[in-house]
Chain A
Amino acid sequence: MNILKKIFSFFVSISLVLFFTLPIQSKVVGDTIVLGAAVSLTGKYSTNGEHTKNGYNMAVQRINDMGGVTVGGKSYKLDIIYYDDESDSGRAAQLAERLIKQDGVQFMLGPYSSGLTKAMAPVTEENQIPMVEANGASRSLFTKGYKYLFAVLSAANQYLEVAIDLAVEKNGGNPVNIAMAFEQDAFSQDVRIGVVEAAERTGSTIIIDDKLPKELNDMAATLAKVKATKPDVLVVSGHSKGALTAIRQIAEMKVDVPMLAMTHCDASKLAKQHGKNAEYALCAAQWHKTLSYSDSFFGDGQQFDKEFTDLYGYAPPYQAAESAAALLVYKAAFEQADSFDKEKVRDALAQTDMQTFYGNIKFSDAGQNIAKPMVLFQVRCEGDECANRVVAPTKWASHELVHPTPSWSTR
């Protein structure tokens, strides 16, 4: 029976290992406030996870450099514990539990993508841990009655509503025919709800409603249908892959639609990767550097853009900007609450009403940022240089919307 003894000693050694790594209650260690975050460093969201992490890190560094967070007359530094959620929602939920239970984190930052935020929110909610998230736009996050979840970004259903309204407006106020293709994931399906609602509101008809599987890299069938049915608007959303595939195949198949509206144009570097083929595509975004917001940490969007580029070597997509804004919100809430009690911090978060370089932030009862509109870009080219230009809302528009899109034979 010695082998069983072996097994037994194995168990004993496990317990010892577990025992010696028992958690330290580390919400505030010395003069450091520890925040917890699980971001995607591997897997399909790893690039966007990286943007999120860089946004967080830059804001932490900036806040610490500028005197840290003052609570109770004492100045504290911020620090973040990172885990890699592997772009997997099951893993994200486990890590949320781990951060809270094992690492004793009392304040959480969100992961990248709606799906992962949806997986983490039940855990933080159950443990009553405040979470300020910057990358989970799905509306279902805000209808579950979560009390500890705060999102600095506008909900996903707002992404492309504006585009439908614009199309109707350009159509002389008459209803339009809409063709849409959305990836099967939490975020894109929410964008879809927004479009469906906008269609109902304006009396428009949806003639094609395709759902793209996650592994898809060929949209030829959808586009052939679009070509045959000639809608007024084509709406596509499927993270970076969807945007790139759509533009490639639209250009190759010479699909003429008066308006093409999509998401994830700047994350996929559409203007750079596709150049002229992407011209006139409309894109929804949470932020653009030319918007006229400012704060005392990063100045305005242009300045953030410049400093981020100096630090990380690439221009910040809006994912980085909103992540940085999440930290600013936390800092303000800590100082407002003047305590590290998570209930007090939660209440302070709920009362947030501030302006950051990223936009105004004010949370609804559901924790959704209601003070900031979405912006709409259009990809525009001058010579061979293509870039995203803001076309709506009119307050910030640097360029006039080109509508309808010129047909392929004239481009």
Chain B
Amino acid sequence: MNQKAILYLALLAFGIAVPFMFPAYKLQISIMWILVVLSLTWDVQGGQMGYNTFGNIMFFGLGMYICSSFQIGIFFPLAEWTASGGEKTFIHTPTQFFQGFFIGIIFAGIIPALVAAIIGYGILGLRGHYFAICTLGLAIAAGELAGGIELVGAGQGMTSPPWPKNIGDTELRSEFFYYICFVLMISTFLFLRWAYTTRFGLVLNAIRDNEDKAEAMGINTMRYKISGWVVSAFFVGIAGGLMGNMIGYIEPVETAFAGRTFGVFMVVMAILGGKGTLWGPVIGAIAFHIFKEGFWTFFLGWQYVALGALIVIVVIFFPEGIMGWLREKYPDRFGEVIDEEDRKAQVELK
């Protein structure tokens, strides 16, 4: 057992113990894990591949709608559930609820991944800021479209199935969702950790550093770009499905295609933590969530001023994020050796 393994185990134990240690914070921490997933998957594009996307929130909303639609649609007529005014109320039995939930979650991952694969060829061919703005447009258009489709409640929004009444109390519900979120976070992290050690990770970095050169070296960059996006879409979609169930109410532009909140947060978190690193997005998301939940209630009304200022300050003064700052400060701990003589020589040259 080396030190690293002990650390991972300790973190795992911490994650598992949370519901018992802090029962009141279960939802809060579940959302934190969701945010970690969002920022980790954003980093696949934004950090590792150098494709700054504003559009990953689209998969989040898609997953949310798909998950709930499946949960409802398998057992009841969806159109009647979402009919404006909601005349009829259907109650899921526990079996129906869990069957529906797992089927919904699976599709909430698969369908966004498929969508990413299909539109990827067109969208990922764009470079730089064109890509950024195009994905921004996609995300907003998706929200507006969802707000116009009657089947999913249009602007009324839709409610996701409530937790079945006759099994356990609300504590059980939050524990259930907590562990699912935790498992999702762990699997996303481990998957990406593994993926970054393979050829896939190297190609992504090559694309970031110089895409034309990578192409010239005979790498089919498009294939890797698309698969990166598919991976992100898959995990983000599941996160969306979970979030829809936890919140209980899906509103097209506020909870589902929530560009103004989660869409921005995922970028800020990844950059805050340090993009292009594995741990950066995780640390960024956790720090951001704690900052947000801890301090926003004291600002009452000034949060968005604080958020705006935070973005500007981070982007201008700490574009490398927390991890970058640590790296600068303690290079040896990142396995980097600095030749003092050489550094001095360079400083003199400047």
Contact = CB atoms under 8 A, between A and B. Distances in A.
A and B touch in the complex (CB under 8 A): yes
Interface stretch (A79-87, A370-378, A379-387): A79-87
Contacts of A186: 155-157, 251
Interface stretch (B4-12, B69-77, B123-131, B210-218): B4-12
Interface in A107-147: 115, 118-119, 121-123, 125-127, 138-140, 143-145
Interface residues of A, number: 63
B11 A8 contact: yes
A183 B154 CA distance: 11
A144 B248 CA distance: 13
19 contacts: A3-B334, A4-B3, A15-B21, A15-B22, A19-B22, A83-B297, A90-B243, A91-B254, A101-B25, A115-B254, A118-B159, A126-B248, A139-B85, A139-B86, A143-B86, A184-B147, A185-B156, A189-B156, A192-B84
Q: Is the interface of A mostly helix, strand, loop or mixed?
A: helix
A31 B336 CA distance: 62
Given A2-B330, A88-B260, A88-B261, A143 B84 contact: no
A183 B253 CA distance: 14
B248 A93 contact: yes
Nearest to B289: A14
A272 to B, nearest CB: 25
A42 B162 CA distance: 29
Interface string A23-59: 1000000000000000001100010000000000000
Contact of A101 (B24, B144, B155, B326): B24
Nearest to A23: B24
Given A102-B28, A118-B157, A127 B170 contact: yes
Given A98-B28, A122-B248, A190 B85 contact: yes
Nearest to A97: B27
Interface of A: 1-8, 10-11, 14-15, 17-19, 21-23, 41-42, 46, 82-84, 86, 88-91, 93-94, 97-98, 101-102, 115, 118-119, 121-123, 125-127, 138-140, 143-145, 157, 183-186, 188-190, 192-193, 211, 213-214
Interface stretch (B102-110, B198-206, B224-232, B298-306): B298-306
Contact of A89 (B249, B293, B301, B334): B249
B155 A2 contact: no
Contacts of A185: 155-156
Contact of A84 (B10, B89, B300): B300
Q: Is the interface of B mostly helix, strand, loop or mixed?
A: helix
Given A2-B333, A126-B248, 6 more contacts: A4-B4, A8-B7, A11-B11, A84-B296, A88-B261, A193-B84
Interface string B147-189: 1100000111101001100000010010000000000000000
Given A22-B24, A90-B258, A1 B173 contact: no
B283 interface: yes
Nearest to B293: A98
Contacts of B251: 89-90, 115, 119, 186
Contacts of B262: 90
Nearest to B305: A42
Given A184-B147, A186-B156, A211-B155, A94 B304 contact: no
